[in-house]
Amino acid sequence: MHREVSFDARLRTIKAHNADATQTYKRGVNHLTDRTIDELRPLHGLDRALLFAERAQELFETVESASAVTAQSPWATSENPPGLDWRRAGAVTPVKNQGACGSCWGFASAEAVESRWFLKTGELQELSEQFILDCTPNPHKCGGTGGCGGGTAKLAYARLAALGGLPSEWTYPYLSVNGSAGSCRGLPLSPALEKPHVSAVAKAANVSGHVSLPSNSYDPMMMAITDGPLAVSVDAGAWHDYESGVFTGGNHTHLTLDHLVQLVGYGTDPVSGLDYFTIRNSWTPLWGEAGYMRLLRSRNASCGIDLRPGDGDGCDGGPKRVRVCGQSGILYDGVFPLV
């Protein structure tokens, strides 16, 4: 009965939205339409308290490291091409399903490694999100404990660099679809195996570190995406019934960064003329545009405020309020791995 009530309420909202000719995107019925708010909550997994504490503590350090390791692609350089889609280059694996686990941070982190490893070696393989969830402790205990309770790309990449890399999905498969992370196994990682599909947990891709982009800066994100996909933090609170088009919805005043996704490109919509970022989600291909979404893109993007960045039970010393820019807050936190 409660599912029917949830479904009917959302269906009315969807129909009212789609009847408005001024809207730039469509809402639709999908596998999430009858879920309650409590059931939708695990689809998000970014611990924003940890995210904000990291950004406040390490902003200058990460900007300096970005300048050092990406000298071949500085933040201000020649104009970007009018459009870019790393899927067309074969650099993106199929859309995945995080299930009822708040593991988006593990998915987006692994996906960015997949893409950047392909661009370096020519080898595209699915890498283990489960390994990140199981083997990445969250020492700050910020509103969660890691695993299905949330984390960040920076946390994942620091751990993978310490462990020397990331195994494949074949040797360390995803088992947390029902909402529970497992125990870390297979450490230390075995060297890369010559024979595929063997049972040993072996390193499939190297990770040596990461680069965090300057917060709320359009040009650095545009330059970073020309080198390859990256992980970005977003407010996905209004995403559940997105179907198609350039998304311009959500709360633009008070944003809550609660989800991590992969940024795979950008372009301009030929119908509306709106510029967009192309986002890959981890809510199955049944959601959105076959698992993808187009978010409004603008150099002069609007900004909002997160008034509760310290929510959770840890990360003392974080800022009381944080300025977050871009559609769904996409410009606030972009991270890519060094492979």
CA distance 213 to 62: 7
- What is the separation of C-alpha 13 from the centre of its chain, rounded to a whole number of angstroms? 26
* Domains assigned to the chain: 43-338 (3.90.70.10)
- What is the separation of C-alpha 34 from the centre of its chain, rounded to a whole number of angstroms? 24
> Quick one: which of 157, 111, 112, 104 has its CA closest to 135?
157
CB distance 293 to 263 below 8 Å: no
What's the pLDDT band for 124 if we cut at 50, 70, 90?
Answer: very high
- The residues carrying an active-site annotation are 104, 259, 281
Low-confidence winner among 72-76, 173-177, 209-213, 302-306 (lowest mean pLDDT): 72-76
pLDDT at 320 over 80: no
pLDDT at 90 over 70: yes
Q: For 258, phi and psi rounded to 5 degrees?
A: -140, 15
What pLDDT score was predicted for residue 249? 94
Estimate the crossing angle of helix 153-163 against helix 48-69, to 10 degrees.
60
Q: Which residues contact 300 (CB under 8 A, 6 or more apart)?
A: none
DSSP conformation class of 283: B
Q: Encoding tokens for residue 143?
A: 């509103």
Q: Encoding tokens for residue 131?
A: 């390994």
Maximal CA-CA distance, the chain: 58
> Residues of the chain with pLDDT > 70: what percent?
76
Q: Encoding tokens for residue 316?
A: 């003392």
Q: Encoding tokens for residue 305?
A: 């405020």
What pLDDT score was predicted for residue 138? 83
What's the pLDDT band for 71 if we cut at 50, 70, 90?
Answer: very low
Give the pLDDT mean for 206-218.
Answer: 94
Helix (H, G, I), strand (E, B) or coil at 105: helix
DSSP conformation class of 61: H
Q: What is the dihedral of CA 215, 220, 225, 228, to 10 degrees?
A: -90
CA distance 176 to 130: 7
> Quick one: which of 131, 127, 125 has its CA closest to 91?
125
For residue 77, the tally of other CB atoms under 10 A from its CB is 12
Q: Which residues contact 222 (CB under 8 A, 6 or more apart)?
A: 80, 266
Q: For 93, phi and psi rounded to 5 degrees?
A: -75, 170
CA distance 304 to 322: 8
Low-confidence winner among 29-33, 42-46, 266-270, 274-278 (lowest mean pLDDT): 42-46
CA distance 70 to 92: 22
What pLDDT score was predicted for residue 33? 67
What pLDDT score was predicted for residue 68? 36
> Quick one: which of 92, 150, 10, 117 has its CA closest to 292?
92
Which residue's entry shows tokens 């800022």?
Answer: 319
> Quick one: which of 175, 164, 168, 174 has its CA closest to 198?
168
CA distance 121 to 322: 38
The model's pTM is 0.86
